[in-house]
């Protein structure tokens, strides 16, 4: 097989409902799609960077730059075809994990299609359905929050995750627990606190939470370990973990009890699997995080989440929880048991709809083997 063509799309999709975290409110999602063509087949990847460097330092422009000027020319020059070859050539370049992951995902999809295998089989996945949770942003009022929780529970979601920050934490949790005493509940601070809040954060133990995700800014390994020593609620790291090495270092000092794996944040599936395997060997459960992906990125996440140590509900929800119309067919659906079926067709197992992608594209560029 030869890679003949790589196309980048900068696209924009309005969110059905705003999504607010401790770092700000998003009303639309701007991201990059990658189409890789060779031997009459196509693989698709998604870059989960945003317009602004709020979640991490990467932006769509930094990703576009390294893709166009460094990684794509390298693929053509070195005749790279497989994800493994790709990683062996780009690992010397520091950072830019979301850009690397987007290309690697496209190569995985293309290679799996060539083998006529669904991705989950290539990865060693074992589940036919994965448990689905939902991440609920900061709302304008507590009554809006309570009614959103109720709606998602009625749709079957197995776990509710609430975004928190100072001023939107203990009070809302009291009210949520009053109305929903027994649900699987977790919170995500996106780094909104510091160790100065230690005593305040210890009160989270009163709410029977599955975890608190990323209380302190990345990486704060030592600070997280200090909090975990005094907190019964498990700490789950998200932003702090950008590689296998981070997972290993933070394990040694006890910074976490759970890991959220995002392919984009750690630079691809190969790194994600290393993290998965390390955590499995050390009895650390993992789950798959989300970046409000389109159906393409989400389909990739579903295959990854079929691996055996994805033991907790994932931030992978139905297409219509995010967007009025997704860009894949069939769209992602959640069963009334709160699960998502892992696609069985080759590659990502869903079909990107070109007309819809072209409609949401702001800018496109195509690169060819010459």
**Binding site residues, ligand OSB, CB under 6 A:** 55, 135, 188, 190, 238, 289-292, 315, 317
262 is catalytic: yes
Binding to Mg ion by residue 238, rule CB under 5 A?
yes
From the list 333, 319, 292, 323, the residue with the least C-alpha distance to 16 is 323
Q: What distances in angstroms separate CA 130 from CA 50, 133, 185, one per listed residue?
A: 27, 10, 18
Output the smallest distance, CB 38 to ligand OSB, in A: 30
Among 169, 188, 246, 326, binds Mg ion (CB under 5 A): 188
Q: Closest CB to ligand OSB belongs to which residue? A: 290
Query: DSSP states of 117-177 as a string?
Result: -BHHHHHT---SEEEBEEEE---SSHHHHHHHHHHHHHTT-SEEEEE-BTTBSHHHHHHHH
Whichever of 109 and 188 has its CB closer to Mg ion, that residue is: 188
Q: Which residue has the tokens 């659906």?
A: 333
Output the smallest distance, CB 236 to ligand OSB, in A: 10
Which one of the spans 50-58, 61-69, 112-120, 212-220 is the region binding Mg ion (CB under 5 A)? Answer: 212-220
Q: What distances in angstroms separate CA 369 from CA 38, 43, 79, 214, one per listed residue?
A: 10, 16, 9, 43
Binding to Mg ion by residue 293, rule CB under 5 A?
no
Residue 233 touches which member of ligand OSB, Mg ion, none, C-beta under 5-8 Å by kind: none
Binding to Mg ion by residue 169, rule CB under 5 A?
no
Kindly state the DSSP code that residue 23 receives in the 8-state scheme. T
Whichever of 58 and 188 has its CB closer to ligand OSB, that residue is: 188
Residue 169 touches which member of ligand OSB, Mg ion, none, C-beta under 5-8 Å by kind: none
Neighbours of 243 (CB within 10 A): 16
| Of 121, 262, 273, 364, catalytic | 262
- Contact partners, residue 161, CB within 8 Å, separation at least 6: 133, 134, 135, 136, 185, 186, 187, 188, 213, 315
Output the smallest distance, CB 152 to ligand OSB, in A: 11
163 is catalytic: yes
Whichever of 81 and 302 has its CB closer to ligand OSB, that residue is: 302
Whichever of 87 and 186 has its CB closer to ligand OSB, that residue is: 186
| Of 163, 178, 229, 337, catalytic | 163
Tokens of 76: 């053509």
Output the smallest distance, CB 92 to ligand OSB, in A: 28
Neighbours of 148 (CB within 10 A): 17
Output the smallest distance, CB 53 to ligand OSB, in A: 12
Which one of the spans 34-42, 182-190, 222-230, 306-314 is the region binding Mg ion (CB under 5 A)? Answer: 182-190
Whichever of 234 and 290 has its CB closer to ligand OSB, that residue is: 290
Q: Which residue has the tokens 């990739």?
A: 300
- Say if residues 203 and 230 touch (Cβ distance below 8 Å): no
Count the residues of the shown chain that bind Mg ion, applying the rule CB under 5 A.
Answer: 3
Tokens of 62: 């930094």
Output the smallest distance, CB 367 to ligand OSB, in A: 29
Question: Can you tell me the distance from the alpha carbon of 280 to that of 306, in angstroms, rounded to the nearest whole number?
Answer: 14
Whichever of 19 and 71 has its CB closer to ligand OSB, that residue is: 19
List active site positions.
163, 262
């Amino acid at each position: 097989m030869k890679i003949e063509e790589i196309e980048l799309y900068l696209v924009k999709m309005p969110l059905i409902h705003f999504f607010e975290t401790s770092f700000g409110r998003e009303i639309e999602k701007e991201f990059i799609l990658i189409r890789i063509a060779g031997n009459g087949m196509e693989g698709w990847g998604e870059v989960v960077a945003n317009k602004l460097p709020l979640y991490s330092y990467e932006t769509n422009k930094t990703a576009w730059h390294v893709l166009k000027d460094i990684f794509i020319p390298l693929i053509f020059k070195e005749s790279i075809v497989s994800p493994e070859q790709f990683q062996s050539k780009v690992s010397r370049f520091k950072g830019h994990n979301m850009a690397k992951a987007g290309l690697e995902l496209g190569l995985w999809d293309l290679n799996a299609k060539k083998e006529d295998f669904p991705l989950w089989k290539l990865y060693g996945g074992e589940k036919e359905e994965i448990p689905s949770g939902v991440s609920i942003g900061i709302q304008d009022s507590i009554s809006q929050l309570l009614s959103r929780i109720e709606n998602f529970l009625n749709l079957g979601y197995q776990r509710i995750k609430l975004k928190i920050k100072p001023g939107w934490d203990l009070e809302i949790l009291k009210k949520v627990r009053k109305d929903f005493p027994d649900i699987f509940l977790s919170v995500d601070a996106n780094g909104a606190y510091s160790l100065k809040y230690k005593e305040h954060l210890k009160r989270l133990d009163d709410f029977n939470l599955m975890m608190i995700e990323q209380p302190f800014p990345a990486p704060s390994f030592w600070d997280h370990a200090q909090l975990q020593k005094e907190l019964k609620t498990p700490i789950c790291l998200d932003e702090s973990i950008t590689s296998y090495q981070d997972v290993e270092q933070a394990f040694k000092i006890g910074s976490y009890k759970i890991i959220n794996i995002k392919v984009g944040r750690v630079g691809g599936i190969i790194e994600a699997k290393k993290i998965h395997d390390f955590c499995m060997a050390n009895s650390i459960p993992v789950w798959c995080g989300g970046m409000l992906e389109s159906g393409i990125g989400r389909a990739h996440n579903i295959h990854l989440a079929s691996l055996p140590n994805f033991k907790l509900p994932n931030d992978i929800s139905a297409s219509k929880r995010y967007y009025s119309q997704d860009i894949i067919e069939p769209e992602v659906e959640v069963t009334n048991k709160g699960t998502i079926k892992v696609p069985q067709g080759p590659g990502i197992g869903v079909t990107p709809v070109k007309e819809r992608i072209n409609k949401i594209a702001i800018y496109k560029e195509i690169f060819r083997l010459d």
